[in-house]
Amino acid sequence: MASFPVINLEKLEGGERSKVMEVLHDACANWGFFELLNHGISHELLDKVEKLTKGHYKKCMEERFREFASKTLQDVSKVDVDNLDWESTFYLRHIPTSNMSEIPDLSDEYRETMKEFVLSLEELAEQLLDLLCENLGLEKGYLKKAFSGSKGPTFGTKVSNYPPCPKPELIKGLRAHTDAGGLILLFQDDMVSGLQLLKDGEWVDVPPIHHSIVINLGDQIEVITNGKYKSVLHRVVAQPEGTRMSIASFYNPGSDAVIYPATALLEEAKKKSEVYPKFVFEDYMKLYAIQKFQAKEPRFETMKNMESAVI
């Protein structure tokens, strides 16, 4: 199997641009994941985000998770492990409106640092969307416009910690799923692994590389590209030692954005059944909330059956 795609963004500026763009295209078409180095976010900022995130977990969330873990492990035979994730999380919204000030227990330093961090991630997401457009032969800005709806794209962050699990063979850190949205930018722990993706029927580790940003594609990119680029199943494997930090930021369509395949990418579709559906993103999210840990293909079929309702 080919090695996991790692892309040095600095090389876009030199003579190796075409090679980098080829690797990016292959990653989007055949992996659904890639890892970025020299992405423009300073190592100092990343180190600060990591330090504050881990400190916040220890101070404000670790004890609550221990209580959950203790109750869960009292009698594992009574635990529905197929509907359980071994993770401690909180969510931040950034655009169109922020909830940063509403999250309890966050220090002022953490709030300000995260604001700086997510602004950098938003810029990186939009840069990457335009690189995808370039590889697909779409006009610059097409994907951002497709995501925009009436209020622009949405952007938010899931901050997770995956504590050590005494029963990693039984309990998943996070069950297998594809992501519903657009582009996901992940800053993950470089000391504790656990993230895996499904490729060619095998689970493959996403390597934890210091100061990298991991990118994966969501279901909406697959729809807009009519399957040329794919979202893929991924999961987090619980570890017996170490707490894994995961900060995943989601650059998604606006709730009223109408999502459908780009006309320029439909020439290969021989018949209507090969064309992905057209739908309002909010409708897809309602279905995803119920079916997150199920296969994506039935979701696409359900949306196709609802197509006549989309104006």
Confidence of residue 125 (pLDDT cuts 50, 70, 90): very high
* pLDDT for position 211: 97
The model's pTM is 0.94
Name the pairing type of β-strands 195-199 and 202-205. antiparallel
**273: pLDDT strictly greater than 80:** no
Q: Which domains can be identified in the chain, with CATH numbers? A: 6-309 (2.60.120.330)
Per-residue model confidence as pLDDT tens digits over 34-80? 999 999 999 999 999 999 999 999 999 999 999 999 988 887 777 88
Judged against a pLDDT cut of 70, whether residue 1 lies above it is answered with no
Helices and strands: H and E segment counts in the chain: 8, 13
- Beta partners for residue 35, in sequence order: 6, 214
Angle at 198 between CA 194 and CA 202, to 5 degrees: 95
| Alpha helices by DSSP H, 12-89 | 17-30, 43-56, 62-74
Q: What is the DSSP string of 156-223?
A: EEEEEEE---S-TTTS-SEEEE--SSSEEEEEE-SSS--EEEEETTEEEE----TT-EEEEE-HHHHH
Which residues are within 8 A (CB) of 67 and not within 5 positions of it... i.e. 6 or more apart? none
pLDDT of 309 over the 70 cut: no
Alpha-carbon distance of 232 to 209, in angstroms, equals 21
The whole-number pLDDT of residue 272 equals 66
Cis peptide before 261 (omega within 30 of 0): no
Residues contacting 122, CB < 8 A, separation 6+: 94, 95, 155, 251
Residues 6+ apart with CB under 8 A from 309: none
Q: Over the stretch 134-161, which tens digit does the pLDDT of each residue have?
A: 999 999 999 999 999 999 999 999 999 9
